[in-house]
C-alpha cells in the first residue's frame, strides 16, 4: 500500500510517499480502507519534534512511528474473528488512540474498541475525516471547565479546528459564546452559533472591560497572565498548548481564585466519537473544511497548516 512516511524529524520535506507493507488485522481488529484523513497541528508538532519533549513519547533520536495521521474516514475492508460491531463494507470514521498514528496511508488496522464508529448518515468521507481530532480536544477542554447553561465563555482562535468545534460544543451545552477570530472568518464563525463576535484585528478582548467565566485559548497564542483580568472570580483559563500551563495548572489549583486548566493527555474514546456522531445526525454539529489535498500533496498541505492561518480543517483524500 502507499503511505506517507518520515524517518527523521524536520521540516515538511522529510515526508515522502512510499510503498509499505499492508497491515493484517488481528482477532480484535478491523482493516480500514482510508478514503480521507487530515493534517493537524499535532501531526506538524510530532514531525518537527516541537516542542522537544515530544521525542520522549514518539522517539528520542528518530520517529518510532513512521506514518503520521490520526483522523480518518473510510470503509471496512476486513475484520478479525472476534469483531462483532463492524462488518466488511461498513463506512466508518474516527481517530487513532492517543500517542498512535498511521492514518496517512491507504489502509490502517484498528481495534474494535478504538475511537471508531459508523459514519454519520449523509456525511461525505472528507467531512467525516475532519470531525474527531478538533472536536474531541475541544470537548475534553470544555468538560474540564464544566461548561454549562448561561455561563459566559470566550473562545480565542474560534476559526481553527479546535475553535470551530469549541464554539459549536459550547452552544450545545447552552453557554453564552463570544468568539474571537480574524475579519475573513467572522461570518463563518457566527454561522456556527456564536452569540458575540470579536475581530481581533480591530479589538483586543482583554481591554474591552468584559469578563467571562471561561476563556478557552483554542490556538495556544495567549497566556493566563494576559487573560486573567478578563476572568470573573472563580473563572478558568483553558489552555491547549504551552508546557508552562502544566505548572500553572498545578499552581493555580492551590493558590488564587482564577484557575488554569490544561487537560492532558488527550482522551480519544469510542464514547466521544459516538457522541459527535449523534450531534452530527441531529444537525447540531458540522465539520469546517478549509482546503482539500491529495495524499501525494501532503508536503504542500503540511506547509499550509504550518502558516497557522487555516480555517477549520485541512483534508487529505486517499
- Per-residue pLDDT tens for 233-288? 999 999 998 888 888 999 999 998 999 999 988 889 999 999 999 999 999 999 99
Tens digit of pLDDT for each residue in 113-135? 999 999 999 999 999 999 999 99
The single residue listed with the C-alpha cell 510503498 is 19
Residue positions counted in the chain: 318
Cell of 173: 451545552
pLDDT by 10-residue block (mean), the chain, 318 residues: 97 97 97 98 93 84 96 98 98 93 98 98 96 96 96 98 98 98 97 98 96 96 94 96 88 93 89 98 96 98 96 98
Domains of the chain: 2-131+287-317 (3.90.180.10), 133-261 (3.40.50.720)
Hunting for cell 504551552 — which residue is that? Answer: 242
The pLDDT > 70 percentage for the chain reads 100
- What's the pLDDT score for residue 132? 96
Predicted model pTM? 0.94
pLDDT at residue 91, rounded to an integer: 98
Amino acid at each position: 500500500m502507499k503511505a506517507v512516511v518520515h524517518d527523521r524529524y524536520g521540516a515538511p520535506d522529510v515526508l515522502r510517499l512510499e510503498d509499505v507493507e499492508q497491515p493484517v488485522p488481528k482477532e480484535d481488529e478491523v482493516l480500514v480502507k482510508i478514503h480521507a484523513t487530515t493534517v493537524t497541528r499535532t501531526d506538524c508538532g510530532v514531525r518537527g519534534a516541537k516542542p522537544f519533549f515530544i521525542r520522549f513519547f514518539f522517539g528520542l533520536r528518530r520517529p518510532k512511528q513512521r506514518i503520521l495521521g490520526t483522523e480518518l474516514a473510510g470503509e471496512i475492508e476486513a475484520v478479525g474473528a472476534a469483531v462483532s460491531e463492524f462488518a466488511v463494507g461498513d463506512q466508518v470514521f474516527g481517530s487513532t488512540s492517543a500517542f498512535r498514528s498511521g492514518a496517512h496511508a491507504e489502509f490502517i488496522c484498528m481495534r474494535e474498541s478504538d475511537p471508531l464508529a459508523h459514519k454519520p448518515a449523509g456525511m461525505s468521507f472528507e467531512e467525516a475525516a475532519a470531525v474527531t481530532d478538533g472536536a474531541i480536544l475541544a470537548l475534553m477542554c470544555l468538560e474540564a471547565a464544566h461548561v454549562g447553561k448561561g455561563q459566559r465563555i470566550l473562545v480565542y482562535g474560534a476559526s481553527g479546528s479546535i475553535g470551530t468545534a469549541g464554539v459549536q460544543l459550547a452552544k450545545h451545552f447552552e453557554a453564552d459564546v463570544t468568539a474571537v477570530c480574524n475579519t475573513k472568518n467572522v461570518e463563518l464563525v457566527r454561522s456556527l452559533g456564536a452569540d458575540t463576535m470579536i475581530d481581533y484585528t480591530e479589538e483586543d478582548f482583554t481591554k474591552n472591560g468584559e469578563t467571562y467565566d471561561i476563556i478557552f485559548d483554542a490556538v495556544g497564542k495567549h497566556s493566563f497572565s494576559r487573560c486573567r483580568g478578563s476572568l470573573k472570580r472563580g473563572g478558568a483559563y483553558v489552555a491547549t498548548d504551552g508546557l508552562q500551563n502544566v505548572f500553572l495548572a498545578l499552581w493555580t489549583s492551590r493558590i488564587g481564585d482564577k484557575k488554569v486548566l490544561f487537560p492532558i493527555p488527550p482522551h480519544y474514546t469510542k464514547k466521544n466519537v459516538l457522541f459527535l456522531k449523534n450531534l452530527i445526525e441531529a444537525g447540531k454539529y458540522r465539520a469546517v473544511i478549509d482546503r482539500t489535498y491529495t495524499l501525494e500533496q501532503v508536503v504542500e498541505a503540511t506547509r499550509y497548516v504550518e502558516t497557522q492561518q487555516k480555517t477549520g480543517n485541512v483534508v487529505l483524500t486517499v
